[in-house]
């Protein structure tokens, strides 16, 4: 990093605030009212932007390709590309979230502005060909808007000068009780009837399986803690929930509801809407209170936050049966995700 990380503040007309950094597009805080009107931060909070990167890509932009690429290799138009192996152990080491020096750890150009929907901030950068091992110069634009309807909208755009692969997402860690305790009591509903099965190292094996009859079935609501330790292969290999769910989109739908999460104690409820075909539901299984030190020296341990990372499926460049993440010159990559907040009464 050559430039210095900066922190910007957005505030909507209802008093919600968001603090974000040009380092990795990191969301440092997002205040949301509870059923009594009390505002609390609902993302894991740290003293400095750099602290978010010490363990787990916490609340940062992810790219050029989010999630895992098996063996850190893929082939495009007959040419093999080799990426950094930054996650896992042999023989299942992989490239995770863009590899070393991914979009979470770079300084972006940032510009605040007022949009008709609420205060916004724009992040832009040119990701040079060869960065992380990926082909093509990729221009990326991302806009966060703190909507006056009490929603956080993320809009992504990308263009390339050579064929490449792109799968942008955001790794926000949410805790609707204000991170006073783990998220085990959060009630989750996922509008997803299938998931991509994985083997050791959480590498997809190409199988797409139904959630019915498994602890991954959130079509009707369940709390996170209810089945997070179930003796089921999909749960055991991930140490909890860390799975790519395929969204059950209505015919002709573009922006679709994929998840609803509620914390009964605070009355906060969060809907997740997206144009993406999939969502990674992760319950902070790898967080460690000894390693992940938050604001004021507080340690964040296992299941202190959950993620809903909207995306295309992991390892898509190596899985012919998964929707492609290829981007060609002349095309524009576009994606939108909205986290909408409400309060519900007892």
Q: Which of 269, 261, 268 is nearest to 36 (CA)?
A: 268
**Any catalytic annotation for residue 309?**
yes
User: Given 171, 186, 222, 312, which residue is catalytic?
Assistant: 171
In the structure encoding, which two tokens stand for residue 138, read together?
Answer: 């990729």
How far is the C-alpha of 50 from the C-alpha of 37, rounded, in Å?
31
**Token pair of 106, please?**
């770079």
Task: Please return the burial class of 132, using the count of CB atoms within 10 Å of its CB with bins 0-12, 13-18 and 19+.
Answer: buried
User: Among 45, 131, 276, 309, which one carries the catalytic annotation?
Assistant: 309
Three-class SS of the chain: CCCCCCEEEEECCCCCEEEEECECCCEEEEEEECCCCCEEECECCCCCHHHHHCCCCCCCEECCECCEEECCEEEECCEEEECCCCECCCCCCEEECCCCCCHHHCECEEEEEEECCEEEEEEEEEECCCHHHCCCCEEEEEEEEEECCCEEEEEEEEEECCCEECECEECCCECCCCCCCCCCCCEEEECEEEEEEECHHHCEEEEEEECCCCCCCCCCCEEHHHHCCCCCHHHHHHCCCEEEEEECCCCCCCCEEEEEEEECCCCEEEEEEECCCEEEEECCCCCCCCCCECHHHCECCCCCCEEEEEECCCCHHHCCCCCCCEECCCCCEEEEEEEEEEECCC
The residues carrying an active-site annotation are 171, 309
């Amino acid at each position: 990093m050559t430039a210095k990380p900066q922190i910007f503040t957005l505030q909507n007309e209802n008093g919600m605030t968001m603090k974000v950094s040009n380092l990795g597009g990191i969301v440092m805080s997002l205040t949301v009212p509870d059923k009594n009107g009390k505002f609390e931060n609902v993302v894991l909070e740290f003293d400095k932007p750099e602290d978010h990167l010490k363990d787990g890509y916490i609340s940062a932009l992810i790219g050029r390709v989010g999630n895992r690429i098996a063996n850190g290799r893929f082939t495009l138009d007959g040419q093999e590309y080799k990426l950094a192996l930054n996650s896992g152990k042999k023989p299942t080491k992989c490239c995770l979230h863009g590899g070393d020096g991914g979009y979470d750890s770079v300084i972006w150009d940032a510009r605040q502005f007022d949009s008709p929907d609420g205060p916004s901030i724009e992040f832009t950068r040119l990701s040079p060909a060869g960065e992380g091992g990926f082909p093509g110069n990729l221009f990326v634009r991302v806009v966060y808007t703190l909507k006056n309807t009490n929603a956080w909208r993320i809009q992504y755009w990308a263009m390339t000068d050579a064929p490449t692969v792109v799968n942008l997402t955001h790794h926000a860690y949410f805790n609707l009780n204000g991170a006073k305790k783990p998220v085990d009591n959060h009630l989750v509903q996922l509008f997803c009837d299938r998931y991509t099965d994985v083997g050791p190292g959480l590498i997809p094996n190409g199988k797409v399986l139904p959630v019915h009859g498994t602890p991954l079935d959130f079509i009707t609501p369940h709390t996170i803690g209810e089945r997070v330790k179930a003796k089921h292969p999909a749960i055991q290999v991930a140490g909890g929930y860390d799975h790519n769910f395929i969204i059950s989109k209505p015919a002709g739908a573009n922006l679709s509801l994929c998840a609803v999460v509620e914390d009964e104690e605070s009355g906060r409820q969060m809907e997740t809407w997206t144009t993406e075909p999939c969502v990674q539901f992760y319950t902070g299984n790898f967080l460690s209170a000894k390693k992940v030190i938050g604001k004021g020296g507080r340690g964040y341990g296992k299941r202190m936050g959950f993620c809903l990372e909207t995306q295309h499926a992991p390892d898509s460049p190596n899985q012919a049966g998964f929707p492609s993440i290829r981007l060609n010159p002349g095309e524009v990559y576009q994606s939108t995700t909205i986290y909408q907040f409400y309060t519900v009464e007892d």
